[in-house]
Amino acid sequence: MSTGALHGIVRGRTVILAEDMELPPEGTQVMVTPIAVSSRNNAAILAAVRAGPKLTIEEAAELEQAIAAGR
């Protein structure tokens, strides 16, 4: 049985778990705590970009080619 946190997304009145895992027995009480997740957190995005690795022009071109090939 899993005793750690389970992660998922609410769809209507159902929580869809992010991954298959062993659940507690039927009837076990659980607590669901919403977490704030925002893909529009500009300050966090800018901080990550500023702190990220610095690429040479050649490395950036290679990365762009790899991304394009994966599409």
Q: Is residue 2 part of a domain?
A: no
pLDDT at position 9 is 83
pTM over 0.85: no
Q: Is residue 59 part of a domain?
A: yes
What gap in Å lies between CA 7 and CA 16, rounded to an integer? 8
Q: Is residue 3 part of a domain?
A: no
Give the domain range for residue 50: 8-69
pLDDT tens string 4-35: 777 888 888 888 888 777 888 899 888 888 87
What gap in Å lies between CA 44 and CA 35, rounded to an integer? 16
Query: What is the dihedral sign for C-alpha 5, 10, 13, 16?
Result: negative
Number of independent structural domains in the chain: 1
Q: Is residue 26 part of a domain?
A: yes
Structure tokens at 3: 């005793």
Whether pLDDT at 51 is above 60: yes
Confidence of residue 71 (pLDDT cuts 50, 70, 90): low
Residue 23 half-sphere exposure, CB side, CA atoms within 13 Å?
Answer: 13
Q: Is residue 1 part of a domain?
A: no
Q: Is residue 29 part of a domain?
A: yes
